[in-house]
Structure 1
């Protein structure tokens, strides 16, 4: 857990509350998320210069240096974004959490970002209407940036590579453990699902040729339900450390395929794609695009990952909890298979 310095906290709270804060009583609580970072909720009462007490909630995200495969500077990207003017690109209805203070410790290779606490619905609490709204808002955001090419966007240097999805897929495909498993006689995944993945492998070059004809947009690249909050009719998007250039639809593939509501995956596939295109089309003409490739993107991003998670859950004679996890991954692959039809 990160050490909280009193002088930093009072500075942050002064920014947050719009008045000079002398001191604060607080408690901390670790929040879920922040896969490789330390995320704390800090809540308490701040003391003003006139003796008043103001309740507050604020989030401190501490990120130490680490190297993500194919994207070594992602650990500091969110800090770089918040230190830029990137925030001006958002709208009232689609934004990130407000930042009250961000600092870099060069000696320890560590960033600290003090940001807004978001109180809203997220994860499994999101409804189909909220999925659709998020897809449309994302399309609108990406379409506006694509059409206007604002100077702020052009000045960002720490962005993930446009080929991130392709490199991610090729990295997984080269891993014999998963590649050989779906082709082996010992594989317990239903054959038609294995064939779905093998078919993608055999057509990968042709698929990427189609994907690479799509518009290049600014992608969040971690656009899944745990990072989406719906609050007061607004969509708020967390965790920008994987953001960068990518292809139209990559984020929608994540929204549909990454630990989404399994029972409604096919429904959301049919609802979110048109909503996304509707939002994007408000700023850019994409009427000529007849092939969105999102089904293929879902398999490229999550096909082998689901195989890996299935294998990690152990063989079928494991405790019920692990067997349930294996069944879940099979069901998700089956839902993806149904999307094709």
Structure 2
């Protein structure tokens, strides 16, 4: 509490608000007024509780963010991307708890093309700097690349379903996805030749916060449980696809968002001296393997026609 208020705290009242809840984790905002030697001061912080669970190919995901803070790795992150300041770490059997500053700003569906382009530029700058200067020997980040993990997982779920006609699912899309599956090994090898960097692994619009600060707009990226060494560009593609797959944003906007997000990301990387470009073909390949089979699975599991129709629209826009 003293770290938040800047003074010794004698007493504090509080109230809690659940920001995100579930059986595996919970994020709560704790706010109130603290009594300090200088008088009463309002405060707000976040408590993130994470219980043991295992992501596909990543058994340590549940404790990764805790361990990133514990190892002071975030102190070495390049400046273009910020993380909330950690105030306290706790650990019990099968459970971690992070107490951190509450960052208030624009997030989620409030982020439109200009805001996401700014976040992409800062992300490219961060990852370009990390590629050139960051440590590549930390044990905490996951070692299973995110693109390969996503492809493997959803290929298992599909289990050959795309090899035969599916009611309502366009054969043209099915053939395109099968073509990517047939070339997956070679495409993965090509991805492995892209510059190595540190990837957040889940650049969802809800994990991006834009806050106005004294020096301008700061971009915060939260939820680092998917973090791992990966390839430049994959987080930018995630930012793009997350903005459409898990929202009701008009799908016809996807090509314009793709152009702004990818161009901004590459421009950010170049500000750090990283000679990096993502052409349209590489973006389609990354999108197809990391997201195409995921969206096709979403189509198969959907219980309503509207979701199925949207999945088809996204696949058309993604692979065009």
Same fold (TM over 0.5): yes
Shift of 1:242: 0.8
- Assess if the C-alpha contact under 8 Å between 1:136 and 1:279 holds in 2: yes
- Aligned counterpart, 1:317: none
Deviation at 1:282, TM superposition (A): 2.5
1:276 aligns with 2:256: no
Which of 50, 56, 63 aligns to 1:63? It is 50
Aligned to 2:275: 286
For 2:281 and 2:230, locate their aligned partners in 1 and report how far apart those are by CA, in whole Å: 14
| Corresponding residue to 2:237 among 245, 253, 261 | 253
Name the counterpart of 2:90.
103
Instruction: Mark the CA change 1:60 to 1:285 in structure 2 (over 3 Å): closer, same or farther.
Output: closer
Give the corresponding residue for 2:142.
Answer: 160
1:170 is aligned to 2:170? no
> Gaps spanning 5+ residues in structure 2: where?
none
Q: Residue 76 of structure 1: CA displacement?
A: 1.0
Report how many aligned residue pairs link the two structures: 311
Change (3 A) 1:245 1:58: same
Residues 1:308 and 2:297 aligned together: yes
**Aligned-residue CA RMSD (Å):** 2.3
The answer to whether the 8 A contact 1:24-1:45 is kept is yes
Distance in 1 separating the partners of 2:252 and 2:2: 45
Equivalent-residue separation in structure 2 for 1:15 and 1:236 (angstroms)? 19
Report the 3-state secondary structure (helix = DSSP H, G, I; strand = E; otherwise coil) of the residue aligned with 2:163.
Answer: coil
Shift of 1:84: 2.4
Distance 2:87 2:277 in 1: 43
Q: Relative to structure 1, is the Cα distance of residues 285 and 119 closer, same or farther in structure 2, using a 3 angstrom cutoff? A: closer
- Pick which of 134-143 and 302-311 moved more: 302-311
Query: 1: distance between equivalents of 2:237 and 2:286?
Result: 6
- Matched position secondary structure for 1:135: helix
Judged with a 3 Å threshold, the aligned counterparts in structure 2 of structure 1 residues 101 and 207 are, in CA distance, closer, same or farther, namely same
- Which piece of structure 1 moves more, 91-100 or 211-220? 91-100
Gapped regions of structure 1 (runs ≥ 5):
1-12, 315-321
Q: Normalised by the size of structure 1, how large is the TM-score?
A: 0.84
Following superposition of structure 1 onto structure 2, how do residues 115-130 of structure 1 map, counting pairs within 5 Å? 115-130=100-115
Deviations 1:88-117 (A, max 9, x none): 334655201111111222xx2211111111
TM-score (norm 2): 0.89
